[in-house]
Amino acid sequence: MQKFIDLRSDTVTRPSKGMLKAMMSATVGDDVFGEDTSVNNLEERTAKLFGKEAGLFCPSGTMTNQVAIKTHTQPSDELICDTHAHIYINEGGGIAFNSGVQVKLLPGDRGRISAQQVSENINPAFDWLPRTSLVCLENTVNRAGGSYYKLNDIKEISEVCKKNNLKLHLDGARIFNALAETGDSPVETANYFDSISICFSKGLGCPVGSVLVGDKEFIKRARRVRKVFGGGMRQAGFLAAAGIYALDNNIKRLKDDHLRAKKIAEVLKNCSFIEELLPVETNIIIFSLKEMTSEEFLKKLSDKGVKGIGFGKKMVRFVTHLDFDDTMLEKTLKVLKELN
Ligand SMILES: *Cc1c(COP(=O)(O)O)cnc(C)c1O
């Protein structure tokens, strides 16, 4: 058993007993030959859930994003995304390294860009301007405190993309958290995107894995890129089986994570050490500190058995997840009140 309460990320979850059992009894084969029935099953089910033709299982969400960007673009193209985007900040400069693509960063509303912003930032087709070929949205937005898009805003962005012949990719690492709040249909949402990356190792509680979905022709090309990136796995069905288990068992409960996050926010609101608390809409809580640095605050917190993560000098992030229950919530609330 873990001795501390871990709110650093929703990636810290361990596979549950039921998930482990599903993994151990998976039927597998060589997935590079397309013969792993569990991988094929997870890819098909995820694609179907989002109304897409095909899926591609990858080791990480970074890989599904990077494979998508590589598949949608040519070197020297430009892609458009928000300043907070994970693809830009947290993927090691992979857009430049893997795709030779440059980025036009737009300051959105807590990570969410608008159709008008996109429209105003598409380069005209002069030889001396990079060719704008791709728009990437993130939903929910990690670094903006788990904010999510309204379906109509996505629709408007997608219309601008279609009109200007741009592809639209969604970094949907936490798309199920967004859908749990909006109640929007996954199929209708996905219909506005050419591709979506979906993480299974976040709120869904899997140890490893993300799935990229899109049309057949796109996924065929993406499968080749995945191999080039070194992401072609063999008996990956043991991992895919965790994903299948998660689709069956771990989506319905995401709202519990959101409720717990909101309870933490209620207490934080009244804490004198807080400078600003971003609105808490899903499972992410981000706040800045008045006097302490994030390092000092996190030290005090971990001395009392709770861990968060620093986002720069003054900001702290907590993320609620499958392995954070009501008992841990009560303890966390108590610790925060003590620190106040
Ligand atoms: C976690 C995350 C990813 C993928 O990260 P991996 O650690 O590579 O799985 C992508 N986008 C966002 C917004 C994320 O939070």
Q: CATH no. for residue 50?
A: 3.40.640.10
1: pLDDT strictly greater than 60? no
pLDDT digits (tens, 9 = 90+) for 56-79: 999 999 999 999 999 999 999 999
Look at residue 9 and tell me if it is in a domain: no
62 lines ligand 1 (CB under 6 A): yes
In percent, the amount of the chain with pLDDT more than 70 equals 99
Residue with CA at minimum distance from ligand 1 atom 4:
61
282 lines ligand 1 (CB under 6 A): no
For range 316-327, the mean pLDDT = 98
φ and ψ at residue 109, rounded to 5 degrees: -90, 105
116 and 190 share one domain: yes
Look at residue 4 and tell me if it is in a domain: no
Look at residue 10 and tell me if it is in a domain: no
pLDDT digits (tens, 9 = 90+) for 140-157: 999 999 999 999 999 999
Instruction: Determine the structural domain holding residue 34 and report its residue range.
Output: 17-249
Question: Ligand 1 center to residue 212 CA distance, Å?
Answer: 13
Look at residue 6 and tell me if it is in a domain: no
132 and 264 share one domain: no
Question: Ligand 1 center to residue 147 CA distance, Å?
Answer: 15
207, 232, 249: which is the final residue of a domain? Answer: 249
CA 73 – CA 89 distance, rounded (Å): 19
234 and 265 share one domain: no
CA 316 – CA 311 distance, rounded (Å): 5
CA 187 – CA 239 distance, rounded (Å): 25
295 and 211 share one domain: no
229 and 132 share one domain: yes
Residue 55 and residue 210 in contact, taking contact as beta carbons nearer than 8 Å: no
Look at residue 76 and tell me if it is in a domain: yes
244 and 308 share one domain: no
Residue 318's beta-bridge partner residues?
285
Beta strands 54-58; 210-214: pairing state: antiparallel
Look at residue 333 and tell me if it is in a domain: yes
Task: Return the best residue to mutate from 11, 67, 90, 169 for the ligand 1 pocket (most ligand atoms within 8 A of CB).
Answer: 90
User: Domain tally for the chain?
Assistant: 2
For range 265-284, the mean pLDDT = 97
Q: Is the pTM of this model over 0.95?
A: yes
The overall average pLDDT reported for the chain is 97
Residue 293 and residue 278 in contact, taking contact as beta carbons nearer than 8 Å: no
Tokens of residue 122, six digits: 């598409």
pLDDT digits (tens, 9 = 90+) for 130-139: 999 999 999 9
178 and 72 share one domain: yes
Question: Ligand 1 center to residue 338 CA distance, Å?
Answer: 33
209 and 266 share one domain: no
pLDDT tier, 3 (very low <50, low <70, confident <90, very high otherwise)? confident
Look at residue 2 and tell me if it is in a domain: no
Residue 317's beta-bridge partner residues?
286, 309
**What count of other Cβ atoms lies within 10 Å of the Cβ of residue 110?**
17
127 and 237 share one domain: yes
Could you tell me which of 132, 90, 133 has the C-alpha nearest to residue 111? Answer: 90
86 lines ligand 1 (CB under 6 A): yes
Angle at 225 (CA atoms; ends 222, 228), nearest 5 degrees: 160
301 and 194 share one domain: no
pLDDT tier, 2 (very low <50, low <70, confident <90, very high otherwise)? low
DSSP 124: P
- CATH number of the domain at 331, please: 3.90.1150.10
222, 249, 276: which is the final residue of a domain? Answer: 249
For range 270-290, the mean pLDDT = 97
CA 135 – CA 144 distance, rounded (Å): 18
Look at residue 7 and tell me if it is in a domain: no
pLDDT digits (tens, 9 = 90+) for 25-37: 999 999 999 999 9
201 and 263 share one domain: no
187: pLDDT strictly greater than 70? yes
CA 245 – CA 250 distance, rounded (Å): 8
249, 284, 301: which is the final residue of a domain? Answer: 249
136 and 244 share one domain: yes
Distance between terminal CA atoms of the chain? 28
